[in-house]
């Protein structure tokens, strides 16, 4: 019971922090930066496109960037292709055609994939003298007016980076993409707005943003000792005195993972990298001459992934705790659980609801999906807890790309699309075991009349069951796809 109480207490503290973010968001959500007009001679902009094995989406990105509304003589585009599949054969001819049409795009391939994405970006920077650098991942489709709506802000000499809000091309493709979109909306609508409004540090999200070259250089450049080079550079640049700007009204469409496999890959990389960044920078940040509010907020921001480990501990303790209550070995559970449950969970519902309401999506369907989104986050606890442990024990690591398939509408099918062979893992088996454990505990609590904890247990049961089943289905689909003929792209 002591361990159970401590876990709830720590989760409650992070829940209070989430409530603070919601308060700051509501206080600052109407604040908008007015874009100044572009100068008569606009600054030169380098657009970097880091690409690695993106056969289904790289061409879409290149077409969108080639159509950017910006003076051609002030624009330079780099396709930084580290691919070792057939992506070069797909995008090479396209780039050559665009060059003949006068598009200032260059195709670059490095001798090795050293440093992964961070290494590719640094490689490209060394070949250009542009003072501004825009970055787009392969699964993004920047709007034509992206540069015209962002470059003018750099008239402020201390502005180091501008980040735009992500939208989701395949939001309505499936239940999984809808739930992922809700989770990402919480970050981009509430968190980024709240941190900017409160004068705290916030991060470049790796894509759909534009940097001042000097800010990158003065912060120490791109590093690959963490898997989140964007988060790492963001904190180093802001600690060095550069200001950041978030534009919630400027959106850049992207594609979220269409399968559990891709979602897990993405979440593992983000979680592990955030923990590595916390190890690397939190000590320096607390010793740096930055406001106390920035230090506190950065601590919560960079350490919140430990909640996944706490959730696993919570799951393992639920059975013994419920047994103790059912047998009368411990009483007063309702008065102990209810305040902590409300503190740790209600704040998350409000957090996601605020993001959906701000986007005009707060209808009854969105309300029914909020518990499912939270349950999906719980179901990722095993995958992300492993990432936390890896982040605590190691630096860097392989930058495993998130597979994207160019799926936008419900009519699109992934059946004939595949990448590399599916990697076997024990994590789905652990998730399946936790699903069974939570299901038995839920049934036992219902039979014992412990109805207060049943809704909480249902969230755990659905989350682990959904993620485990999704991983199994993805593995079967991947095996089947590998038996099909190589797709034509």
Report domain extents, the chain.
2-24+304-405+417-482, 43-303
Our answer to whether residue 63 is catalytic in this structure is: no
The residue ranges of the chain whose pLDDT is under 70 are 329-344, 409-423, 477-489
- Name the active-site residue from 230, 232, 259, 337: 230
Q: Please give the pLDDT value at position 9.
A: 86
- Mean pLDDT, the chain, rounded, equals 90
Q: What is the pLDDT of residues 69-94, one digit of tens each?
A: 999 999 999 999 999 999 999 999 99
pTM above 0.85, yes or no: yes
Q: Are 154 and 43 in contact (CB under 8 A)?
A: yes
Q: Please give the pLDDT value at position 488.
A: 46
Long-range contacts of 451-458 (CB under 8 A, 24+ apart): 452/333, 452/334, 452/337, 452/338, 453/318, 453/322, 453/333, 453/337, 456/341, 456/345, 457/318
- Name the active-site residue from 82, 139, 259, 337: 82
User: Which residues are paired to 168 by β-bridges?
Assistant: 254
Helix, strand and coil in the chain, % to nearest 5:
55, 10, 35
**The residue count for the chain:** 489
Helices (H), 258-305: 260-287, 292-303
Our answer to whether residue 85 is catalytic in this structure is: no
Q: What is the DSSP secondary-structure string of 72-134?
A: GGGEEEEEEE---SSHHHHHHHHHHHHHHTT--EEEE--SS-TTHHHHHHHHHHTT---SEEE
Q: Please give the pLDDT value at position 337.
A: 64
Q: Please give the pLDDT value at position 453.
A: 79
Q: Please give the pLDDT value at position 483.
A: 40
What is the CATH number assigned to the segment(s) 43-303?
A: 3.90.550.10
Q: Please give the pLDDT value at position 425.
A: 81
């Amino acid at each position: 019971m002591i361990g159970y109480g401590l876990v709830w207490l720590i989760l409650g503290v992070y829940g209070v922090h989430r409530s603070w973010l919601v308060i700051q968001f509501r206080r600052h959500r109407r604040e908008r930066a007015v874009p100044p007009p572009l100068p008569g001679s606009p600054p030169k902009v380098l657009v970097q496109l880091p690409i690695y094995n993106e056969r289904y989406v790289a061409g879409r990105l290149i077409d969108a960037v080639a159509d950017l509304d910006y003076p051609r003589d002030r624009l330079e585009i780099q396709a930084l292709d580290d691919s070792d599949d057939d992506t070069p054969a797909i995008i090479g001819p396209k780039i050559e055609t665009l060059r003949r049409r006068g598009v200032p795009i260059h195709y670059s391939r490095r001798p090795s994939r050293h440093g992964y994405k961070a290494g590719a970006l640094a490689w490209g920077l060394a070949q250009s003298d542009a003072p501004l650098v825009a970055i787009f991942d392969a699964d993004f489709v920047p709007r034509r007016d992206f540069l015209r709506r962002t470059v003018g802000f750099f008239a402020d000499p201390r502005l180091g980076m501008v980040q735009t809000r992500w939208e989701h091309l395949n939001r309505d493709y499936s239940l999984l993409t809808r739930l992922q979109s809700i989770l990402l909306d919480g970050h981009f609508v509430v968190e980024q707005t709240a941190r900017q409004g409160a004068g705290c540090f916030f991060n470049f999200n790796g894509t759909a943003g534009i940097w001042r070259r000097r800010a990158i250089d003065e912060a120490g450049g791109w590093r690959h000792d963490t898997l989140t080079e964007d988060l790492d550079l963001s904190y180093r640049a802001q600690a060095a005195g550069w200001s950041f700007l978030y534009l919630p009204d400027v959106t850049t469409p992207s594609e979220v993972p269409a399968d559990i496999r891709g979602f897990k890959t993405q979440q593992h990389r983000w979680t592990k990298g955030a923990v590595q960044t916390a190890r690397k920078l939190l000590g320096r940040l607390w010793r740096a001459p930055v406001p106390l509010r920035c230090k506190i907020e950065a601590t919560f921001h960079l350490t919140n992934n430990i909640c996944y480990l706490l959730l696993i501990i919570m799951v393992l303790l639920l059975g013994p705790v419920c047994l103790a209550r059912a047998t009368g070995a411990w009483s007063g559970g309702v008065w102990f659980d209810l305040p902590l449950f409300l503190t740790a969970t209600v704040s998350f519902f409000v957090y996601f609801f605020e993001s959906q309401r701000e986007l005009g999506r707060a209808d009854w369907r969105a309300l029914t999906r909020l518990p499912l989104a939270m349950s999906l986050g719980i179901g990722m606890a095993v995958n992300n807890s492993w990432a936390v442990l890896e982040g605590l024990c190691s630096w860097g690591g392989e930058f495993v790309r998130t597979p994207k398939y160019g799926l936008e509408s419900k009519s699109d099918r992934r059946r004939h699309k595949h990448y590399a062979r599916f990697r076997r893992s024990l994590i789905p088996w652990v998730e399946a075991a936790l699903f069974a454990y939570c299901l038995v505990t839920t049934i036992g609590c219902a039979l014992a009349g412990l109805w207060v904890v049943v809704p909480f247990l249902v969230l755990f049961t659905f989350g682990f069951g959904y993620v485990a089943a999704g991983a199994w289905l993805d593995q079967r689909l991947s095996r089947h796809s590998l038996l099909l003929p190589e797709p034509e792209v």
